[in-house]
Chain A
Amino acid sequence: MSRAVRELRLLARDPLLLGLVVLIMAALLVFVLYPVVLVLRHSLVTPDGLGLDNYELLAQRRLYRNALRNSLGVATLVGALSVVLGYVVAFTLARTDVPLKRALHNLTILPIVSPPFSGAISILFLFGFNGLVTRHLLGLRDFSIYGFWGVVASQVFTFAPIAYLSLRGVLAGINPTLEDAAMNVGATRWQVFSRVVLPLSLPGVASAFLVVFIESMADFGNPLVLAGASFPMLAPQAYLEITGSFNLPRGAMLAVVLLVPSLTAFALQRYYINKRQYVTVTGKPTASTTKAVGPAAKWLLFSVVVLFALVVIAFYGVILVGAVTAVWGFDYTLTLRHFQYVFAVGWDTVKDTVLVAVTSTPVSGLLGMLIAFLVVRRRFPGRGAMELLSILNFAVPGTVVGIGYILAFNSPPLLLTGTFAILVLNFVFRYVPVGIQNGIAVLRQIDPAIEEAAQNLGADGVTTFRKVTLPLIAPAFFSGLVFAFVRAMTAISAAIFLVSANWNLMTVQILNQVGSGRLGVAAAFSVVLLGIVLVAVGVIGALVGRRAETAATVRF
């Protein structure tokens, strides 16, 4: 008690900062916690009051039971396959001296910056009813890609790069002199890997698995495109309950069922596994000797990496070609018809999407850095709650957030449904966690005395943040911006509940086009979307590059 009072009084010495803390806390409660609570509450609504009736349906109805089983099964397998693939690529690119590292890295992470279901579209082009491979090369007539394997394939393509990025960090952080030391005491190359490198990276493997598991559970686009009617999954089923049958309580119930494994995995990852990460990074510079992998093993690994890169090229190539092909499967003449459609009929959607992304990105970036600053550098009651709340949205599936937003903001005083604001708010609070995590990591490496010096010289808390902290964490700020922008451009699961006739998004358009069988238009939309994202990432990247240079010269 006395501690909270003391902390509050300390904060009150800086009224502007106190105001900000209160404001952020209120915003987090309204835009993060409140919608989720409403979903929970709504899942208990029955014709006669509150009860667990909706959840009993889970036992009674095969459809729901199967949806749960299918979602869990797919997420588990996708997690495992993505981690294996991600590990191979990360190990090869981070710890061996293969050629073309830069290009292979960029190709591998390309799926991260595209809409999360572009893989699904490529799969339809290649393996669908009129697929290039299935129908034309193999002449199959009754092959169906829809169902378990279709979803698994497109999700592995989508999420293996995420596993790759997180495992790359882990593997690059293992001190190579450990390998030298192991070999020095007589270990064979295989023993070096199985007894040293692998055990050291195991917490990272578990963490990557859980991250992919969460992503897969929450994924909306791939299942909607590829699951098909006979293979129900939770996220699309919740969406169908609400938009198809207008049954909000059942949709909310399915959303809660979706939420539970996701939150469990998140809690495991954050509070159990991350505390077990081995940090072997020291201040001493270590030269990688890269002798710990024999030539045969190296080229075998390399071929796997190249194979994945080729799949990426093929998938995007197919979308490019599909976008300029008249009717895939029947009429392969070149045409710009689909692009004309995008620029004529779909132009408003393109503008809306960019406007929403451009508005939400800087807000999300700034908010992320501000929260990171408050959490790391200030003491106030509710600090832990602020951190937890602001990263909670990362673990809450978009479907849950989307349903929560329509429940929360469909009536006064906060009547936001159908507006520009609800889309922006959704993106701001959904993608702020990554910025926060980056900001926290960077801030912990900056001597707090620098900020104390600013205060000592007369700067109040907000000025200190603006003039000193923010410039110092600029690299993290900009990479947070890239992430927020990419996600705002490519997100679907929550947004699909929030779009309206006035404000529509490209991802939703793409899904609609796929739904109505116009793959060419969907591909053209995807190409435009990917083009915008790559240009934006390039522009921000150029800014970061300059920033990073100044930041590099100011090491102390």
Chain B
Amino acid sequence: MPVDLRLVGLRKEFPGHDGGAVVVAVDDVTLEVEKGAMVTLLGPSGCGKTTLLRLIAGFEEPTRGEIWFGDKRVDRLAPNARDTAMVFQSYAIFPHLDVFENVAFGLRMARVPDAEVRERVGRVLELVGLAGLERRAPSQLSGGQQQRVALARCIVLEPHVLLFDEPLSNLDAKLREQMRVEVRELQQRLGVTSVYVTHDQAEAMALSDVVVVMNEGRIAQVAPPRELYSRPNSRFVADFIGKANFLTGTVVDARTVDVAGTHLPLSSDAPVATGQRVDLVVRPEAVVLRREDGPGARGVIAHAAFLGDHAEYHVRLPSGDLVVAHEANPAERGMFDVGEEVTVTTGPLHPLPPE
């Protein structure tokens, strides 16, 4: 697939308050997005993801760097001259216009003939399930419907790049998951290149072809969701995506690592040298607890919680470390008790590159 959106060495500084130090919101970001891909910018608040999105939309001007849509450089263009459409966190629906006119707004700005406006708006409203509500005022719509208006208003323009600024964060949990599916299906059907900002890692995983994890203005890792989860490149990414246990060990051979005297399997695809000290990541669901004695470390259950689809245990090892373990289907399989002694083994541990 050809590259459709390209950010080159982007940097954005904001002047500090009252002559304070300059704040670097986006720091040397380079990124290529393939045509039709859905990319999420994920990170904690203040990591620069929203600023990056606003740079692409043109609401902010980069201090340095370039933005390309296909082979057109756009970073000096005004927002209205860029072929983007953005779904805002607050929806930003025009409260004085009805549903139809909200969706038609961009077409009217482009002076599209009336007949075509009617035709295209009608089609898009059908697509997002708002047919029949054309003459409603925004205030008469539910949160989910407002969300769909905001979405329809963007996709009716068939923009070069579709931008999402935490669009689902104002919805309740159930509706959020439903809209997540709808947004993804729609985006794939239309094949429009999209950039989606969120701080919700589950949303990022569910939606995207590629996740860009950001931290303090910089890109921490760019990877598809599965790779991001199983092979994080830093402690920050591992910690931010899902839950993680961090251990330290010594490499025994290409397949084995020694953690506090216990030999555990080592994930095979990372280049490590024998005898090297490494930081290791293992997900709670890869931690296996058994009652019976055997190979592995002995530990004591310090905390046990029943969470429906899984149980969460905190296991204290002789070294003093706490390991979090998730065991599936506790309703059927029963639970360990607090204070019970267990044998702890793990699936392959993923070594983190030295920081």
Contacts and interface: CB of A to CB of B under 8 A. Distances in A.
B78 A556 contact: no
B89 interface: yes
A555 B93 CA distance: 11
Interface string B105-119: 110011000000000
Given A472-B96, A550-B96, A10 B61 contact: yes
A452 B59 contact: yes
Contact of A449 (B15, B81, B90): B90
Contacts of A555: 95, 139
B133 interface: no
Interface in A420-438: none
Interface string B65-93: 00000000000111111001110111111
Interface string B137-169: 111000000000000011001000001000000
Interface in A451-493: 452-460, 463, 467-468, 471-472
A450 B110 contact: no
> Which of A452, A453, A454, A471 has the most chain B CB within a 10 Å cutoff?
A453
A102 interface: no
A452 B95 CA distance: 14
A553 B137 CA distance: 8
Nearest to A17: B78
A166 B214 CA distance: 49
A13 B59 contact: no
Nearest to B137: A553
Contacts of A454: 94, 105
B117 to A, nearest CB: 13
A449 B89 CA distance: 9
Contacts of B90: 447, 449, 556
> Which of B58, B80, B106 has the most chain A CB within a 10 Å cutoff?
B80
Contact of B138 (A14, A456, A467, A556): A556
Contacts of A463: 109
B92 A554 contact: no
B259 interface: no
B86 A6 contact: no
A556 B61 contact: no
A456 B80 contact: yes
> Which of B86, B91, B92 has the most chain A CB within a 10 Å cutoff?
B92
A contacts with B: majority SS? helix
A454 B153 CA distance: 10
A13 B81 contact: yes
A556 B146 CA distance: 11
B325 interface: no
Given A10-B61, A456-B57, A457-B85, A450 B92 contact: yes
Contact of A471 (B57, B96, B139): B96
A447 B61 contact: no
> Which of B59, B77, B110 has the most chain A CB within a 10 Å cutoff?
B59
A553 B95 CA distance: 8
Interface in A340-369: none
A3 interface: yes
Nearest to B103: A457
A456 B79 contact: yes
B96 A449 contact: no
A554 B136 CA distance: 11
A457 B104 CA distance: 10
Contact of A455 (B79, B95, B139): B79
Contacts of B86: 452-453, 456
Contacts of B95: 450, 472, 554-556
Nearest to A552: B139
A140 B92 CA distance: 70
Contacts of A453: 86, 88, 92-94, 153
> Which of B76, B79, B93 has the most chain A CB within a 10 Å cutoff?
B79
Contact of B106 (A6, A10, A458, A460): A458
Nearest to A459: B109
A6 B109 contact: no
A551 B91 CA distance: 18
A515 B30 CA distance: 79
Contacts, number: 90
A554 B15 CA distance: 35
A409 to B, nearest CB: 38
Interface residue tally of chain B, by bracket? 20 to 34
Contact of A457 (B58, B89, B106, B138): B106
B157 A457 contact: yes
A455 B109 CA distance: 10
A310 to B, nearest CB: 44
B78 A455 contact: yes
A457 B105 contact: yes
A491 to B, nearest CB: 33
B194 to A, nearest CB: 14
A450 B92 CA distance: 4
Contacts of B110: 458
Nearest to B140: A553
Given A450-B92, A554-B137, A554-B139, A456 B85 contact: yes
A421 to B, nearest CB: 34
Given A458-B109, A556-B95, A449 B88 contact: yes
A555 B88 CA distance: 17
B268 to A, nearest CB: 47
B6 to A, nearest CB: 20
A449 B137 CA distance: 18
B127 to A, nearest CB: 18
Contacts of B89: 449
A17 to B, nearest CB: 9
A452 B81 contact: no
Given A13-B76, A554-B138, A450 B109 contact: no
Contacts of B80: 14, 455-460
Contact of A556 (B81, B109, B139, B154): B139
Interface string A533-556: 000000000000000001101111
Contacts of B139: 553-556
B78 A460 contact: yes
A523 B60 CA distance: 60
A452 B88 contact: yes
A478 to B, nearest CB: 14
A471 to B, nearest CB: 4
Nearest to B156: A457
A524 B173 CA distance: 69
B149 to A, nearest CB: 11
A458 to B, nearest CB: 4
A554 B138 CA distance: 7
Contacts of A551: 96
Contacts of A556: 90-91, 93, 95, 138-139
Contacts of B58: 455-456
B231 to A, nearest CB: 36
A15 to B, nearest CB: 10
Nearest to A458: B109
Contacts of A460: 78, 80
Contact of A14 (B78, B106, B153, B154): B78
B137 A452 contact: no
Given A456-B85, A456-B86, A468 B78 contact: no
Contacts of B78: 13-14, 455, 460
6 smallest CB-CB distances across A and B, nearest first, come from A554-B95, A457-B106, A458-B109, A13-B78, A449-B92, A453-B92
17 contacts: A9-B61, A13-B76, A13-B81, A450-B93, A452-B59, A453-B92, A455-B80, A456-B80, A456-B84, A456-B85, A457-B80, A457-B157, A472-B95, A554-B96, A555-B95, A555-B139, A556-B138
Given A13-B81, A457-B105, A468-B96, 17 more contacts: A9-B61, A13-B76, A13-B77, A13-B78, A14-B80, A452-B79, A452-B86, A452-B88, A453-B86, A453-B88, A453-B94, A456-B84, A457-B109, A554-B96, A555-B95, A555-B139, A556-B91
Interface of B: 15, 57-59, 61, 76-81, 84-86, 88-96, 105-106, 109-110, 137-139, 153-154, 157, 163
